[in-house]
Each structure stands twice: as C-alpha cells, then as structure tokens.
Chain A
Amino acid sequence: MKFAILVNEGPFGHQATASALSFAQAVLTGGHELVRVFFYMDGVYNANRLASPPAGECSTARAWSELAAESRVDLVVCIAAGMARGVREANLAPGFRISGLGQMVEAAVLADRLVTFGA
C-alpha cells in the first residue's frame, strides 16, 4: 500500500512526532511505500537542525534525517509554516526539503492513505 504522512506538531512538546516516526518505520518495514512525509503547522519544527534537547529526552529531528538517509524518504517542510516559525534553508536538518502545501495535496492524491499525526 502507498502511505503518506502529515505531521502537524513539534517534536519536543507533543507525542505526535514520535508516533509518526514509529509509523513511518513500520510502513517501510512492512514493505509498503512511503510517498512522502509532509511537515505542517508546528510540525515544521521537526526540520530545525538547531534543536538540541537534553541527552536521552528527544532526538526525533535526528531520527527523521536518519530515516531519510537510510530509506530515501521524501521529507517536505511547508514553506509558509516554516517561514512563520523560523525554519528555513539556513537551519534545515539533513534530508528535509522546503516546498509548498501543494506537495501535501499531491501526496494525499498519490497515496492510498494519508495518515495525520497531531492536531
């Protein structure tokens, strides 16, 4: 099955990101296709490479980059939501790219299921 994922909450203050990561890994482990992970609303904070939470507390930003490196998952940050929150090319974590909301719509159309985390 083809899945797309929408992440709407930040990595540090909300469970949504950790759940989305687990789900993304399960999709790939299960032999399914992950069309795209789109980061919107506070979800764009997942792409901020300047985040450095205390050791052992939260490492989801790095985990997304690792997932992208291992599995070539397309990680897309909404440009408008990112600009509003100070997430831009200058502080973008590896493996992410910045684009428009149209990429979310396209992912929803191309995937059999769009699964939302947060909000």
Chain B
Amino acid sequence: MSVESDNSAEPKVKRFMYVNRKAPHGTVYALEVLEMVLISAMFEQDVHLTFLDDGVFQIKKGQNPSVLEMKDFSKTYRALDGYGIEKVFVEKESMEERGLSQDDLIIPVEIIGREELGALMESMDVVLSA
C-alpha cells in the first residue's frame, strides 16, 4: 500500500515518529499506538518509534498482563522488524530514572539522550504521541 502524492506517481514517504509516553497497561493508549505504528509501516512510511517517560515500561521484560485480563501485546514489539520497523529509540534519562537498563528491555533499541532526541523529533514530518 502506498500514498500517491498530488502531482506525481511516486508514492510519498514521510518521516513519522510515534512517541510512547504511557505505561503499557491501565489505559489503552499503548496498544492503539502500536496499531498506528504497524499501519504506517504497511503504508511504507519511514517509521520511528520512541519510548520515553513511563512509555519505557511498554518494552520491559517479564510482563504478565493476563492477571489484568489483558492481552500480552508486548510480543508484538518483537515482531516490529518483520514490518521493517528498525528505528526504535529509548530516551536514556527516562530509562535511568526508572532504574532500567538495556538488559531489561525485550527488543534491541537505540538509547538516545534527551537533547539528541529533541533534535531527532525536529527532523520528523509527523510526530504523534500518546
């Protein structure tokens, strides 16, 4: 699938960044952002995925949401590379503030500092956060 631009047959690709800022459970935001991420990749957009604030808990190892009667969608993050989504970032400060390290995360990510992340966001065409 692709999006045709106004005046050419070439599909139009934009730099999308999805910014996950909320814990994985308790609200539905994380799950529904994940749907947007997958669809954007299916539409061949240049997708970037960032976890900051409590959003870093979305990719923490050892989740067991079945006790909350919720689906364990953390497995889907492991399938992201299958959708061509390889630009995954975690904000260093958010991770450290929560006592986490890269070893606690279920997928390989690029750890990026707050200032650098700001500059990266600046370079995006579309930034969506939840």
Contacts and interface: CB of A to CB of B under 8 A. Distances in A.
Interface residues of B, number: 23
A81 B129 CA distance: 17
Interface stretch (B36-44, B58-66, B96-104, B110-118): B36-44
Contacts, number: 50
A41 B12 contact: no
A102 B128 contact: no
B120 interface: no
B43 A105 contact: yes
Contacts of B16: 105, 108
Main secondary structure of the interface of A (DSSP, over half): helix
A42 to B, nearest CB: 8
A76 B35 CA distance: 17
A86 interface: no
Nearest to B3: A109
Contact of B3 (A81, A101, A105, A116): A105
B10 to A, nearest CB: 12
Interface string A23-45: 00000000000000000110000
Contacts of A46: none
A40 B37 CA distance: 13
A6 interface: yes
A109 B3 CA distance: 7
A78 B39 CA distance: 12
Interface of B: 1, 3, 5-6, 12-14, 16, 28-29, 32, 35-36, 39-40, 42-43, 45, 125-126, 128-130
